Chains A and B, each alone.
Chain A
Amino acid sequence: MGELSEFSLNYRLFLKTYRWRRIEPVPWTPLKKPLRDCRLVLVSSAGIVASHQEPFDSAILGGDPSIREIPVDTDVPTLKETHRSKAFDHAGIRQDPNLAFPIDRLRELTDAGRIGSLNHRHLSLMGSITAPGRLIKREVPPVISRLVADGVDIALFIPA
């Protein structure tokens, strides 16, 4: 398990005392059809950007709530990790962005018939957002509307 002991004392205290927002009630959408017929969107909070995109802004208090759309045909080695946290080791993701944005693995699963298809756009967010209101109320709803219009059935969330 990822452990609190990975982190510095200050960060451990933050994780223990931060007022995490509890989801209540927990919404639940059961899978409506076999995975082999589903369209998947990948959502990573590793702060990954495509080569033509601006990095996330680490100066925004509470965290940059903006969302990047990453095209499905993106070349993984060109992706750049811009996560602002100094609390963890970034070397693995920088060496292999598939570690937090596994679009190559998902293409393999689609080619094997395990998943029906990959959406043409995938999402990248900044993690460690301490003021999530702007993200949830302003940024996420229009993105979900676009995904619904895309015919997305399932979403896979991966942190950093």
Chain B
Amino acid sequence: MGLVAAEFERQEISTVAIQLLRLVTEKVRPPRALCVPFRHGYPLDSPNDPQKQHKVLAAALGLLENQELKPPAIVDFKK
């Protein structure tokens, strides 16, 4: 996903990637990444829980708006 996101950025589409393993994220270095504390299969926290899903999405979209970040921007999601 990080490699694909990089291709998008090269064509001037801003990206943010939700990531489940910080170890891998630090090796690949996608441009903007939100590392979430959830197990694989649950990237937006819980099924059928719009409120929790919105919380993760809000944090991800916030990275796009943060003008202080520098690449690679790897940020942990705070519950």
- Which residues of chain A have a CB within 8 Å of any CB of chain B? 1-4, 6, 15-16, 20-24, 26-32, 35, 41, 43, 45-46, 85, 87-93, 95-96, 98-100, 102, 104-106, 108-109, 114-115, 125, 127, 132, 135-136, 140-141, 144-145, 147-148, 152-160
Contact = CB atoms under 8 A, between A and B. Distances in A.
Interface residues of B, number: 55
A93 B67 contact: no
Contacts of A156: 15-16, 18, 57, 60-61
B11 A92 contact: no
Which residue, of B21, B46, B65, has the highest number of chain A Cβ atoms within 10 A? B21
Taking chain B's interface residues, is the majority helix, strand, or loop, or is none over half, making it mixed? mixed
Given A35-B65, A100-B43, A28 B71 contact: yes
25 contacts: A1-B21, A1-B37, A1-B76, A3-B39, A4-B23, A20-B27, A23-B29, A26-B30, A27-B31, A28-B71, A29-B13, A30-B67, A43-B1, A92-B46, A98-B50, A100-B43, A100-B44, A102-B57, A109-B61, A125-B1, A135-B3, A136-B7, A144-B8, A147-B13, A148-B12
Contacts of B14: 29-32, 153-155
Contacts of A159: 1, 17-20, 40, 43
A110 to B, nearest CB: 12
Q: Which 9 A-B pairs have the closest CB atoms?
A: A2-B20, A96-B47, A88-B40, A157-B17, A27-B9, A26-B71, A28-B71, A20-B27, A88-B41
